[in-house]
A = this chain, B = another copy of it.
Amino acid sequence: MEKLLLVLSGPSGTGKGTICKEILNKNKEIRCSISATTRSPRLGEINGVNYWFTSKKDFCEMIENDELLEWAEVYDNYYGTPIKKLQDMLKDNDVILEIDIQGALQIKKKFPNAVLIYILPPSIEELIKRLHDRGTDSLEVIEKRLSLAREEIAKAACYDYVVVNDKIELAVKKIMAIVIAERCNVIRNKILIRNISESRGESK
């Protein structure tokens, strides 16, 4: 059966990072997509585990050859998802990828069967509380994140699913249910249907 490409998005403060980690911890058959980067490996980081460490020259070549699903430049370093590496992972494993809304929609264009899940905060009030509680952002940054979140959430209607992250365990359970359901989705089972309907099997 065709493997699943799960794409997770959500405004900062919705806890999508924690949800992603939980899913990977609990499900050894699901793997995390690995980005390519031009930044140097930090202590303990392993090529092909944390990132695909790449030279700037090779990265630019991938951009030119349209070999990246999406890419971005952050503080003079490049980050991106190599299509070929993702396809290789999808041969044997379901793959999860955490990405922003623009990236997610680009992925859907190249992988129409990708499953797009948008993580929602229970309410804007709760999102505000979470952003304040984590204490990493100034009020100005929080304001900016909120106005971005409102814009983004409206676009969640382009996703396949929305999951409200009220309690992490519950949100993880819902995403695992989506995984099981999507494995039953007809688009992934055409060969199975054909095999069963065309199999000979004699009744006498």
Contacts and interface: CB of A to CB of B under 8 A. Distances in A.
Interface of A: 117-118, 120-121, 123-125, 127-128, 131-132, 139, 142-143, 146, 150-151, 153-154, 156-164, 173-174, 176-178, 180-182, 184-186, 189-190, 192-194, 196-204
Given A174-B180, A177-B181, A196-B153, A201 B160 contact: no
Contact of A162 (B139, B173, B174, B184): B184
A196 B161 contact: no
Contacts of A142: 203
A53 B159 CA distance: 44
A182 B177 CA distance: 9
A156 B192 CA distance: 11
Contact of A174 (B139, B184, B190): B184
